[in-house]
Amino acid sequence: MSWEAVIGLEIHVQLKTRTKMFCRCAVGALDDPNTRTCPVCLALPGSLPVPNRQAVEWTIRLGLALGCEIAGHAVFHRKHYFYPDNPKGYQISQYDEPLCVNGRVRLPGPDGVAEIGITRAHLEEDAAKTLHVGGAEGRIHGATASLVDFNRGGTPLVEIVTEPDIRTAEQARRFLQLLRQTVVELGISDAEMEKGSLRFDVNVSVRPTGSDELRTRTELKNMNSFAFAARGIEHEIERQIATYESGGQVEQETLHFDPNREDAPPLRSKEEAEDYRYFPEPDLVPIEPLREWSLDELGGKLPESPSARLERVLAAGLELRDAEALNAEPARVSLFETIGEAGVEPRAAAAFVLNDVAPRVDPARVDGAELAKVLRERDQIPREALDAAVAASASKGFTADEYLRERTVADASELDPVIDRILSENGQQVEAYRGGKEGLLGFFVGQVMRETQGKANPKVVNERLREKLKT
Ligand SMILES: [Zn+2]
C-alpha cells in the first residue's frame, strides 16, 4: 500500500511593534530581565488592557497578504492556563471570532503550484520567559531555581494556522520559508528563529494515498530551523507508516524533537486533553475592522508576495535552489528579470546575479540594463573587465561603454594576417609542432596575444592557430 502524509502548521510570529499588545511597555525581550514591565503586563490587580492599534492593523495586512477574509467583528478571549510565565492565569487570545479566516496561499514548487488553505490568523499576547538555572542545558530537570523574565510577556503575537493541505516535508519547508519572507517583507516582524520571533509546531498524520480520511495526528514541537523541521517531519512520516504497516496504531501525542539526537527516537509525552475555558475578555470591546480601516487602502499598499515572485522565477525554467536563492531578496529577482529582458538566457542570468553580483554589490542599486550590455559581451572582453563592471554597476552614472571598449578582437579577418606573420617568422617551431610537439600551441598563442596587446580573443586565436597548423 502506498501512503501520503497530511501536514498542518501552526506558526507564531512576534510583531515588531514599538510597544506591547495591551500596555505601553517597550517591546524588548532581549533587554535586561524584567526592565520592560508595568502593572498591566505583570497582571497587577485593577490594571486594564488597551489594544495596540498597530498590531491589529499589521495582523489585518498579513491576513490580506495570505488571501484571508477579514472579519467584520473580532473578539478577544481569555484562554486559561496556570503557568509561571503567565501571571494573569490566562492569556488574551482569540477564539471563535478571529481577525482573519479562510485564506489561501499559492505554494510554487518544482512540480507545479499547490494551494495551501489558511484556517485563521489571530492576534494574541506572548507569555513571559522561564529560565531554569543550575541544571544541564537550561532544563528544569536538575535545576536549582527557575527564574521568570517578564520582558517578553505581553508582546504581540500572530498565530497562523494552516489547513492540513501540505503533503510532504519539502512542501512544509517551502511554505515556512515563504511565510517568513512574507512577514519580513511586510515589515511587521524580524521572524528570526534564533531569537524566537518565529516559532512553529507541525501536525503530522498519514493515510493511504487517495483516501480523504484524517487519521490520528502527532504534534512536533521544538523545531529550530526549516531544514531541521523537514527532517523531523520526514522521520515522523516514516515512523507512522511503519507503525500502521506492522499492525499498530498511532497515538495522539506531542513529540519533543531533539536537534542533537536527530536519529534517536524522539522524547514523547502524552498530550493532555486541554480545556482552556475560553470566555470573552470583558475588559476589551470587540474590534470592527471593516469600520475602522479601509481594506482597499491596507491591501493596496501590500508589496508583491514572495510566493508570486517565486512562481514567476520558476516559470522561467530555473532549478528550485536557484529560484529560492534569487527570491530571497526582491531586488535579486528584478535584476534577474532586467538582465533576462536584455537577452541573457535565464540560467546564465541567475548564475550571474547569484555568483557575481550579490556577493559584491547590493542588487537593489545596480543599473541592470547597463550591466546586461556588458554581460552579453562576456565572451569578447577580458574577465577582469566584467568584474570591474560588476563592481562599478551600483555606482551613480555607471555605463557599459567603458567596459565594452575592452572588447577583444575576435574577427578572423583581423587576426589572420597577424597569425600568418607569426607562423612564417617561426618556421622551426611550426615544424616541431607538426612533428608532434603540440605543447607549442601555447607559444604561438602567446605571440599573437603579445602582437595584439592582449586584445585578441584567446578562444578564436586557438581555433585559428589549430586550423592553420594542420598539415
Ligand atoms: Zn507593560
Ligand 1 centre distance from Cα of residue 122 (Å) = 21
Residues 132 and 16 in one domain: yes
Pairing state of beta strands 100-109 and 112-125? antiparallel
pLDDT of 284 higher than 50:
yes
Ligand 1 centre distance from Cα of residue 34 (Å) = 10
Residues 325 and 426 in one domain: no
**pLDDT level of residue 11 (50, 70, 90 thresholds):** very high
Residues 112 and 235 in one domain: yes
**pLDDT level of residue 206 (50, 70, 90 thresholds):** very high
Ligand 1 centre distance from Cα of residue 236 (Å) = 40
**pLDDT level of residue 273 (50, 70, 90 thresholds):** very low
**Domain edge (last residue) among 355, 379, 404:** 404
Ligand 1 centre distance from Cα of residue 3 (Å) = 49
- State how many domains the chain has: 3
Residues 208 and 234 in one domain: yes
Residues 130 and 14 in one domain: yes
Burial of 455 (0-12, 13-18, 19+ CB in 10 A): middle
Ligand 1 centre distance from Cα of residue 395 (Å) = 46
Mean pLDDT for all residues in the chain: 90
Torsions phi, psi for 130 (to 5 deg): -100, 135
**Domain edge (last residue) among 297, 329, 363:** 297
pLDDT of 471 higher than 80:
no
Residues 286 and 340 in one domain: no
Please state, in angstroms and as integers, the Cα–Cα distance from residue 398 to each residue in 311, 332, 353, 371, 374, following that order: 31, 18, 17, 9, 11
Non-local CB neighbours of 204 within 8 Å, separated by 6+ positions: 5, 6, 7, 217, 218, 219, 220, 233, 236, 237, 240
Residues 37 and 155 in one domain: yes
Per-residue DSSP letter, 100 = E
Residues 116 and 161 in one domain: yes
Three cell numbers, residue 190: 524580524
**pLDDT level of residue 276 (50, 70, 90 thresholds):** confident
Q: Which of 70, 20, 97 is nearest to 292 (CA)?
A: 70
Output the domain CATH number for residue 440: 1.10.10.410
**Domain edge (last residue) among 265, 297, 329:** 297
Within 13 Å of residue 375, how many CA atoms lie on the same side as its CB?
A: 28
Three cell numbers, residue 273: 486533553
Mean of pLDDT values over 342-356: 94
Q: What is the pLDDT of residues 157-179, one digit of tens each?
A: 999 999 999 999 999 999 999 99
Count Cβ neighbours within 10 Å for each residue of 136-165 and write b for 16 or more, e otherwise.
Answer: eeeeeeeeeeeebbbbbbbbbbbbbbbbbb
Question: Is residue 304 situated within a structural domain?
Answer: no
Mean of pLDDT values over 53-68: 97
pLDDT above 70 as % of the chain: 95
Residues 249 and 361 in one domain: no
pLDDT of 271 higher than 50:
no
- The number of residues making up the chain comes to 471
Q: What is the pLDDT of residues 437-448, one digit of tens each?
A: 888 999 999 998
Q: CA-based angle 123:84:265, to the nearest 5?
A: 85
Q: Which residues neighbour ligand 1 (ion) by CB within 5 Å? A: 23, 25, 38, 40-41
pLDDT at 401: 84
Ligand 1 centre distance from Cα of residue 40 (Å) = 5
Ligand 1 centre distance from Cα of residue 53 (Å) = 15
Residues 345 and 279 in one domain: no
pLDDT of 186 higher than 80:
yes
Ligand 1 centre distance from Cα of residue 49 (Å) = 9
Ligand 1 centre distance from Cα of residue 123 (Å) = 17
Mean of pLDDT values over 246-270: 71
pLDDT of 264 higher than 50:
no
Ligand 1 centre distance from Cα of residue 20 (Å) = 7
Residues 235 and 141 in one domain: yes
Question: Is residue 310 situated within a structural domain?
Answer: no
Q: Identify the domain containing residue 247 by its residue range.
A: 3-297
Output Rg (C-alpha) for the chain, integer angstroms. 31
Residues 134 and 71 in one domain: yes
